[in-house]
Structure 1
């Protein structure tokens, strides 16, 4: 069983490696602009707003990450967690690593009185969808994720 723990500053280079592996898996190999310095600032700066848990194999190598941040539901009147990225190295899949990472986040939700643990999954990612179905997560039918970025974001800001 993998060991799950909160990330440490020294993990940032390895976390970035896994983020880059995820980008390759999601067919966006050149999309990552994040840096070790960015991770150090955002995860361990004065007022972190994003958090990461890591999974270590028996040798202590970080083989999985769950990067998340708190959300707020106006309807529930409570916080929740948005899971930005869940990634487990291919060689470690099927060993309970993803489940252990999600279980840790579910425990945080319950302990803090959060009502939701939410994330997005790419439509074509059948293995991830099958995994999420196996843990009884539900699809939010009728909702579409929307984004403003790049020139559209700049234009909207003017």
Structure 2
């Protein structure tokens, strides 16, 4: 199958919101945010002023979105440089194993290399997700130890 990887555009908001529902279900969510709430949040995140994040989307030959990579630039990284942080990499299950995820990783690395002051690409994978970890190993990426992840809801701060 032929696919195109490109930056998300405003016309993609609905399809990205649908992919986010797929991602949530993939990770086992049983309560899914209603589409009428999710869609404006996707639009604000990707196209607000300022945008909170960016995304690459994977478009198949019929024009459907079948994958995405959501990312942001974080500062500081090493010294005063910044990093491209990949938050989510997703390819629809029927298209996995066809090199699409690897192509998205290559595109992200190219984008980071082209951005002055960007010293690295970083991401996380769940320790209990052997498929993702195997994918990253197959791409030649090594796991790094030493960070512990924390999360708290804003209302509990």
- Does the pair score TM above 0.5? yes
2:105 is matched with which residue?
A: 102
Whether the aligned pair in 2 keeps the contact of 1:76 and 1:115 (CA below 8 Å) is: no
Superposition map of 1:82-97 within 5 A: 82-97=85-100
Shift, 1:75, TM fit:
3.1
Q: CA deviation at 1:74?
A: 4.7
Change in 2 beyond 3 A, CA 1:59/1:12: same
Aligned residue runs from structure 1 range 47-126, under 5 A: 47-113=50-116, 114-126=118-130
Residues 73 and 40 of structure 1: CA distance in aligned 2, closer, same or farther (over 3 Å): same
User: Structure 1 segments of 4 or more deviating over 4 A?
Assistant: 31-34
How far, CA to CA, are the matches of 1:29 and 1:109 in structure 2?
35
**What is the Cα-based RMSD across aligned positions, in Å?**
1.7
Superposition TM-score, scaled by structure 1 size:
0.88
Q: Which residue of 2 aligns with 1:37?
A: 40
C-alpha separation between the residues in 2 aligned to 1:93 and 1:87? Answer: 9
Residue 155 of structure 1 deviates from its aligned partner by: 4.1
Question: How has the CA–CA distance of structure 1 residues 81 and 2 changed in structure 2, closer, same or farther, with 3 Å as cutoff?
Answer: same
Unaligned runs of 5+ in 1: none
CA contact (8 A) 2:71 2:87 kept: yes
Task: Output the CA distance in 1 between the equivalents of 2:100 and 2:29.
Answer: 24
Alpha-carbon distance in 2 for matches of 1:98, 1:53: 11
Which residue is equivalent to 1:22? 23
Shift of 1:2: 2.1
> Any unmatched runs of 5+ in structure 2?
none
Instruction: Pick which of 102-111 and 112-121 moved more.
Output: 112-121
TM-score (norm 2): 0.89
Partner of 2:148: 144
